[in-house]
Structure formats: structure tokens, C-alpha cells
């Protein structure tokens, strides 16, 4: 029965060719909608207006050529829900028509900003463009509004849900970042503790992941307050994503020192391209330790940033010398324990401490925050932060998975943010 209208309008001889062409045209149109959705979601995610999702870059040359598995599944479920729920081409057409004309009207309004701010054209010309095209689209839009009760309500409800989700996520993220900036521990306060910094320094290396560029994140201050002990060597890690396909290995890490040498505190900016793999923990740990060792060997003890630069070499065996300064990276495929060994004469005290700390183990420390509204907040804010934003944070992609942090070496510090 679904093919009856097509058979009435098309002759039997050309029915199947037209049917095949129509199916292919539908696939092309659907692909355009899907790709556009991926692009919009990726941009919203970059603007902190959408929860964390997995973004797969499928091209080494085009940054915007992406695939988002979660969004693809959601689109499939919504498509089936519309098909099963409506079961009527006229009702589906009403919903589709309202969605299309609304997109066209919004695009025309945004073109005013593009003409004035991007193209730097006359504002009168921009107004003329909006009036000419917008007036025509308004007629179609008003006609589609008459069919809201006949199926056109679905895109309106779906748009309202997406808009509310994006606004709440953006609002909660801004409040969370503001809390971290306002409650970060000043480095001067940390360094003023002098030699008493870290009463108990346990063996090993601790990698503290942080979103703040300067200062100590409140998560670490909360950890030290409740558990006054941390690793002998601490590295505050900040991940930076670049818009290039791959970052060369010699430009991956930027190391700087925090405070006096006896504190053994460092800050590391890790830079990734959108095609770089982040799940190779073994390679990441060894390269990081090599970079810190090279930083110390070059005598960068004045707090200046240092970028590790060396030529790319094949992985050597334990018996080969890697560098002239006799710093060796030993990888054992037969053992699950990964070690980087330093050997040779003349190693400084810091290099010796780094070697001992590396052999003791390496731990990753991240915050597991719970963002809650203050008790004096309104009911609307409590609903948005405590319920909606909390639900989105629990069901979005975990930062440890996105950064490739191994679960066996991960320490999550729980903390409540009152915003």
C-alpha cells in the first residue's frame, strides 16, 4: 500500500529505475544530515555546550571529517521512533517541513552576522538580504505553524530538549570551572611551606591531571588535607588538543619546574593532535620520564619551560646506548611492569631520585567531582545542577577514558563542588 501513490504517478516501465534513483537520493540526503549533525555536535562540544562524546577523526588532512558513534545511534533510534510512531507520510511530512523551514529561517538570520562581522559588508546590504529572503521564508513558516498539531510538534519538542540540555551543560561547566579557579591553591602558599612541604613523601611518581594552567587544583589540595602524603616526584599534567593531525614526538611535552629543586614539582603540558592515539600508556609514561630526565640533564632549574627535542629513533634493546648522556629506556615485553632505567656515571641527585621513583611505580591522579548547587540556590538551579547536570556528567564519556589513563594506576579523588 505504501507504493500505491508512486505507482499511480509513474508508469510501470520506469518504476524501478525511478525507485532506485529515489532511494539513492534519500541516502545522499540522509548522509548530509548525519554529517552536518556530527559537525554541529563537535563544535558545540568544543564550546562546552554539549556533554563529552567520542569523536573519531576519519581523515588525516581534513579536521572536520569526523564520526561520532553515540550520536549516530541516537539518530537511528529517533528515525525509527518517528517511523513507528507516526506511520503516516503526511504527518512525517508536516514534521519534516517545519524542521526544514525553521532551519532556513535561522540560517537567514545568522547570515546577517556573517555579512556584517565576517565579510565586513554594509549593514544595509545585510538588512536587505534578511528582509528579502526572510520575508519569503516567514510565509512558509507561518503555513507550517498551522500543522503543529498534525505532527509538527515533534521537532519543536526535540529542539527544546536539546536546547535545554546544551544550556544546562554549558551553565554547569562554567560554574565548575569558576569554582576551580576561585578555589585553586596559590603556588606561593604552597611554596611558603618550605622544606616541610609534603611531610610524608612516598616513593613513586604522581601525575596530577588538572584543567587549570597555573596554581594547584583544588582536588589536590583536598587530597593533601585529608591524606597528608604524596609521591616523591609530582608532575601536574595539562592536556592541550591542537587542530593538527599529529604532533611530533619531539614537540609532545613542554616541561617547567615549580618551586625549588628539593620540592621535585614539575608542570607538563601534553599536546595532542586530533589523530594522535592516547591509549598507549607504556609509550606515554616512558616518553614523559625521558622528557623530565632530559629537562634535568640540561640544567633547566630556573623554572623556564623546556621542550624536549630529539631525533626519532627505533626502540633499542636493553644493551644498547640510546643517548650520549647514558639515559636508557628499557622495555620488557615479558614483564607487565614497565621501567625506565638510568645508568652511567655522573647522574645528579635529581636524576637518581627520578630513577628510584620510576622503579617504585607511577600513579595517575584525577578528580571525581560532584557538582551541587548551594543550599540557598533556587529550586530551578538545584534542578538544573543537581539533577540534570549530574545525570549528564554520570552518563557522558569519562575523562580517564578520553585521556587513555589506565584504570590499574588511576586514583580518583572525590570532592564536592558547591556552586
| Residues making up the chain, counted from first to last | 419
- pLDDT of 316 reads 34
The SS3 call for residue 404 is: coil
d(CA 221, CA 264): 17
Percent of the chain that is helix, strand, coil (3-state, to 5): 50, 15, 30
The SS3 call for residue 306 is: strand
* Sequential DSSP letters for 332-393: -SS-S-----B-SS---HHHHHHHHHHHH-EEEEEEEEEEE--TTS-HHHHIIIIIIIHHHH
- pLDDT of 215 reads 65
Buried b (16+ CB within 10 A) or exposed e, 255-274: bbbbbeeebbbbbbbbbbbb
Query: What is the DSSP pairing of strand 410-418 with strand 362-372?
Result: parallel
d(CA 217, CA 183): 8
Q: Give kind and range of the element (H or E) at residue 153.
A: helix 153-182
Surface-to-core class of residue 233, CB atoms within 10 Å of its CB (0-12 exposed, 13-18 middle, 19+ buried): buried
Whether pTM exceeds 0.85: no
d(CA 165, CA 179): 21
Buried b (16+ CB within 10 A) or exposed e, 216-231: bbbbbbbbbeeeeebb
Domain definitions of the chain by residue range: 1-87, 89-151, 168-309+351-419
How far are the Cα atoms of 19, 40, 84, 94, 377 from residue 88, in angstroms, in the given order? 19, 29, 9, 10, 46
Edge-to-edge strand order for the sheet containing 306-307?
306-307, 253-258, 265-272, 229-241, 200-209, 362-372, 410-418
How far are the Cα atoms of 21, 23, 145, 156 from residue 86, in angstroms, in the given order? 25, 21, 18, 16
* Sequential DSSP letters for 215-229: SB-HHHHHHHHHS-E
* Contact yes or no for 217/244 (Cβ under 8 A): no
d(CA 272, CA 404): 12
pLDDT (tens digit, 0 to 9) for every residue of the chain, 419 residues total? Answer: 444 555 556 677 787 888 888 888 888 888 888 888 998 998 898 888 999 888 888 888 887 888 999 999 999 999 899 988 888 888 888 898 999 999 999 999 999 999 999 998 999 999 999 999 999 999 999 999 988 988 889 999 999 999 999 999 999 999 988 888 887 777 666 656 544 555 677 888 888 888 766 667 778 877 877 777 788 888 888 888 887 888 888 888 888 888 777 778 888 888 888 877 776 677 788 888 888 888 888 765 444 444 444 333 333 333 333 333 333 333 333 333 344 444 443 347 888 888 888 888 888 888 888 889 998 889 999 999 999 999 999 888 888 887 878 888 888 888 888 88
- pLDDT of 199 reads 62
Neighbours of 11 (CB within 10 A): 8
- pLDDT of 107 reads 92
Question: What is the distance, to the nearest Å, from the Cα of residue 213 to the centroid of all Cα atoms in its chain?
Answer: 17
d(CA 385, CA 285): 36
- pLDDT of 282 reads 73
Amino acid at each position: 500500500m505504501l507504493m500505491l501513490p508512486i505507482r499511480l504517478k509513474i508508469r510501470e516501465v520506469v518504476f524501478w529505475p525511478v525507485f532506485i534513483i529515489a532511494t539513492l537520493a534519500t541516502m545522499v540526503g540522509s548522509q548530509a544530515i548525519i554529517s552536518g549533525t556530527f559537525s554541529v555536535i563537535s563544535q558545540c562540544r568544543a564550546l562546552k555546550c554539549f556533554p563529552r562524546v567520542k569523536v573519531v577523526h576519519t581523515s588525516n588532512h581534513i579536521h572536520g571529517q569526523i564520526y561520532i558513534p553515540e550520536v549516530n545511534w541516537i539518530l537511528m533510534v529517533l528515525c525509527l521512533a518517528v517511523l513507528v510512531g507516526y506511520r503516516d507520510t503526511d504527518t512525517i511530512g508536516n514534521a519534516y517541513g517545519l524542521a526544514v523551514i525553521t532551519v532556513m529561517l535561522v540560517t537567514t538570520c545568522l547570515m546577517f552576522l556573517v555579512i556584517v562581522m565576517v565579510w565586513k559588508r554594509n549593514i544595509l546590504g545585510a538588512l536587505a538580504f534578511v528582509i528579502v529572503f526572510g520575508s519569503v521564508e516567514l510565509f512558509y513558516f507561518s503555513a507550517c505553524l498551522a500543522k503543529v498539531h498534525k505532527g509538527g510538534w515533534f521537532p519543536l519538542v526535540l529542539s527544546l530538549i536539546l536546547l535545554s540540555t546544551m544550556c544546562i551543560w554549558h551553565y554547569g561547566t562554567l560554574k565548575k570551572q569558576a569554582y576551580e579557579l576561585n578555589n585553586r591553591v596559590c603556588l606561593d602558599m604552597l611554596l611558603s611551606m618550605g622544606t616541610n612541604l609534603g611531610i610524608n613523601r612516598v616513593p613513586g611518581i604522581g601525575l596530577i591531571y588538572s584543567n587549570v594552567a597555573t596554581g594547584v587544583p583544588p582536588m589536590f589540595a583536598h587530597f593533601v588535607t585529608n591524606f597528608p602524603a604524596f609521591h616523591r616526584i609530582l608532575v601536574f599534567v595539562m592536556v592541550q588538543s591542537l587542530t593538527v593531525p599529529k604532533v611530533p614526538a619531539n614537540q609532545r611535552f613542554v616541561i617547567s619546574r615549580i618551586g625549588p629543586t628539593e620540592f621535585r614539582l614539575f608542570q607538563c603540558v601534553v599536546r595532542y593532535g586530533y589523530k594522535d592515539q592516547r591509549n598507549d600508556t607504556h609509550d606515554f609514561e616512558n616518553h614523559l620520564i625521558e622528557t623530565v630526565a632530559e629537562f634535568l640533564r640540561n640544567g633547566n632549574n630556573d623554572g623556564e619551560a623546556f621542550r624536549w627535542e630529539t631525533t626519532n629513533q627505533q626502540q633499542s634493546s636493553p644493551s644498547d646506548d640510546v643517548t650520549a648522556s647514558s639515559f636508557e629506556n628499557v622495555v620488557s615485553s615479558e614483564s607487565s611492569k614497565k621501567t625506565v632505567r638510568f645508568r652511567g656515571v655522573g647522574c645528579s641527585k635529581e636524576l637518581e631520585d627520578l630513577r628510584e621513583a620510576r622503579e617504585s611505580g607511577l600513579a595517575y591522579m584525577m578528580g571525581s567531582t560532584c557538582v551541587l548547587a548551594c543550599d540557598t540556590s533556587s529550586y530551578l538551579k538545584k534542578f538544573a545542577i543537581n539533577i540534570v547536570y549530574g545525570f549528564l556528567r554520570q552518563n557522558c564519556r569519562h575523562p580517564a577514558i578520553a585521556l587513555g589513563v589506565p584504570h590499574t594506576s588511576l586514583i580518583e579523588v572525590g570532592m564536592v563542588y558547591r556552586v
